[in-house]
Structure 1
Amino acid sequence: MSFTVEVKRKKRVDLSKVQTSLRGPKKVKVGFPAGEADSDNIQKAVWNEFGTRGGASGGGWGGPVPERPFMRNAMRENTSKYRNGMRSSAAKILTGKTSITVVLSKLGIMAQGDVQQSITSLSSPPNSPATIALKGSSNPLIDTGEMRGAVTWKVWNG
């Protein structure tokens, strides 16, 4: 007993386009890239993301800053959205209808907005009463909005 299988393609794929579309960057970085972000914003982001012990080790108003993981929260809450975006773009990349650079750029814009939203919406742990009195706001991660505005993305070839 034997059988034959014939595969018919509706559209022929030009393999040279596939190879070209797979060249280019491999990652998108979101946050506060060194050399592009202001060092004060990087420092504020690190203090808030991981917390401090206060005093000489840093802190907003000299006291300890509790851990407020706005970046990790944004990535954890949106991982499936990013994965689905890459999955839906795979066929377009392979058929040469788009490039990895374009897809990663769209992903970077999306993730930048998610991190900024995480900064805006994070409310716990709350500011201390002394911090609220000094800055005039109870939003833990927003004083002037400068750190939130500094969040960016960069397509990277590493």
Structure 2
Amino acid sequence: MATVIDINGAYQAILHRLQNMHGNVEVGIFDDGKKEPNKTSVYDVAVYNEYGTSHIPARPFMRQTVDNHEQEWADMAQKLEDRVANGMSVEQALDILGNKAEGHMKETVGRGKFKPNSPKTIKRKGSAKPLIDTGLMRESITYKVNK
């Protein structure tokens, strides 16, 4: 068995940082009061699209993002743990991960595979692109770090 001799306290500092790696990142659209021009909350629009309604087919941009990037995020988190062990703050690491996930979710809204808009919706919007109308929902995707 090897023995670690911690002359300058660096090993203990690393252990302390690793033991105190608490926190998580939430990514999505938070109920912050933003409204679409028709006065519907952006949060509600996101929920309606994610799960569908009697008039709107489900276009699960959040679940699709997780399905497509979960392993990539896990790999990134592992690398970030190593960086935290070498001095990066937990908040910085979570910020990097959240920023990446936010970008992936916004990309999914723009490029995901979703049921097409109805002809009536296309006529009203002037576009066949699902999930993109005013752009406010996509712009509202963000992340927050919780410690």
Q: TM-score, normalised by structure 2?
A: 0.84
- Aligned partners of 2:78 and 2:60: how far apart in 1? 27
Q: Give a deviation string over 1:11-60, Cα, whole Å, max 9, x none.
A: 973313532465365110001123x352511011000000001xxxxxxx
In the alignment, structure 1 residue 30 sits paired with structure 2 residue 27: yes
* Partner Cα distance (2:25, 2:2) in 1: 40
8 Å contact from structure 1 (residues 122, 140) kept in 2: no
Using the aligned pairs only, state the percent identity.
29
Gaps spanning 5+ residues in structure 2: where? 36-40
Q: Which runs of 5+ in 1 are unaligned?
A: 54-63
Distance 1:8 1:123 in 2: 52
Misfit runs of 4+, over 6 Å? none
What is aligned with 1:67?
58
* TM-score calculated relative to the size of structure 1: 0.79
**C-alpha contact 1:123 1:139 (8 A) present in aligned 2:** no
**Structure 1: distance between partners of 2:121 and 2:131:** 11
Q: Could you say what secondary structure the match of 1:74 adopts? A: helix
Distance 1:25 1:33, change over 3 A: farther
Greater Rg by CA: 1
Give the secondary structure class of the aligned counterpart of 1:14.
Answer: helix
- 1:121 offset after TM fit, Å? 1.0
**Alpha-carbon RMSD:** 2.3
